[in-house]
Amino acid sequence: MVLQNIHRFSNPDKAAITHAIVHRALWEYLNALSSLPDEAEQEKMRWEMFEICQNVLAEIAHTRDGSRVVREFLAYCTAKDRKQILKVLKPHIERMGDDGAQNMLFTALDATDDTKLLSTCLRNRRRHSKTARRSLLYVVIPRSRRDLTPDQVASLSGTDPIRAKPFKKHNNSRESEVRKAASEGLGTVHPGMAPGKRFISSSMRLSTTELLDSYTADGVALVGDAAHVMVPHQGSGAGQSIGDGYFLATLLSNPSVNVRVIPKVLSVYDAVRRPFAVEVCRRSHLNGLFYTMNHPEFKNRIAGCTSQAEQEQVLKQLGEAVKDNWERAWSSSFNDCMEAGVVTLKRLVASPSDVTDGVSAVL
Number of domains observed in the structure of the chain? 2
Residue 318 and residue 222 share a domain: yes
Helices 64-76, 99-111: inter-axial angle, 10-degree rounding = 0
Note whether residue 338 is domain-resident: yes
Q: Which residue has the higher pLDDT, 229 or 156?
A: 229
Q: Which of 185-189, 293-297, 300-304, 314-318 has the lowest mean pLDDT?
A: 185-189
Note whether residue 262 is domain-resident: yes
pLDDT at 115: 65
Count of C-beta atoms within a 10 Å radius of residue 2: 13
pLDDT tens digits for range 254-296: 999 999 999 999 999 999 999 999 999 999 999 988 888 888 8
pLDDT tens digits for range 220-263: 999 999 999 888 888 888 999 999 999 999 999 999 999 999 99
The last residue of a domain, from among 125, 156, 182 = 182
Residues 6+ apart with CB under 8 A from 5: none
Maximum Cα–Cα distance for the chain, whole Å? Answer: 93
Reported confidence tier of residue 192, pLDDT bands at 50, 70, 90: very low
Residue 342 and residue 221 share a domain: yes
The last residue of a domain, from among 160, 182, 204 = 182
> Residue 60 class from Cβ within 10 Å (0-12 exposed, 13-18 middle, 19+ buried)?
buried
Residue 221 and residue 172 share a domain: no
Note whether residue 253 is domain-resident: yes
Residue 238 and residue 143 share a domain: no
Q: Which residue has the higher pLDDT, 260 or 148?
A: 260
Nearest CA-CA partner of 227 in 189, 192, 159, 276: 276
pLDDT at 202 over 60: no
Residues 6+ apart with CB under 8 A from 34: 42
For the chain, the first-to-last Cα distance in angstroms comes to: 83
pLDDT at 164: 62
Note whether residue 198 is domain-resident: no
* C-alpha torsion sign, points 24, 26, 29, 32: negative
Q: Which residue has the higher pLDDT, 17 or 46?
A: 46
Q: Which residue has the higher pLDDT, 150 or 171?
A: 150
Note whether residue 199 is domain-resident: no
Residue 322 and residue 230 share a domain: yes
Residue 170 and residue 240 share a domain: no
As a whole number of angstroms, the distance between CA 270 and CA 133 comes to 38
Note whether residue 145 is domain-resident: yes
Note whether residue 210 is domain-resident: no
Residue 121 and residue 51 share a domain: yes
pLDDT tens digits for range 62-118: 777 888 888 888 877 777 787 778 777 777 665 665 556 677 777 777 776 666 666
What is the mean pLDDT of the segment spanning 318-325?
91
Nearest-5° Cα angle at 83, 126 to 30: 105
Residue 347 and residue 225 share a domain: yes
Residue 263 and residue 129 share a domain: no
Residue 246 and residue 165 share a domain: no
Residue-range definition of the domain harbouring residue 339? 216-362
Q: Which of 22-26, 172-176, 210-214 has the lowest mean pLDDT?
A: 172-176
Reported confidence tier of residue 120, pLDDT bands at 50, 70, 90: low
Rg of the chain in Å (alpha carbons): 30
Residue 167 and residue 21 share a domain: yes
pLDDT at 197: 39
Which residues are paired to 327 by β-bridges? none
Note whether residue 187 is domain-resident: no
The last residue of a domain, from among 182, 206, 238 = 182
Helices 262-291, 308-331: inter-axial angle, 10-degree rounding = 160
Residue 170 and residue 282 share a domain: no
Q: Which residue has the higher pLDDT, 161 or 263?
A: 263
Nearest CA-CA partner of 285 in 246, 236, 249, 344: 236
With a pLDDT cut of 90, the percent of the chain lying above it is 21
Q: Identify residue 35 by its one-letter amino acid code.
A: S
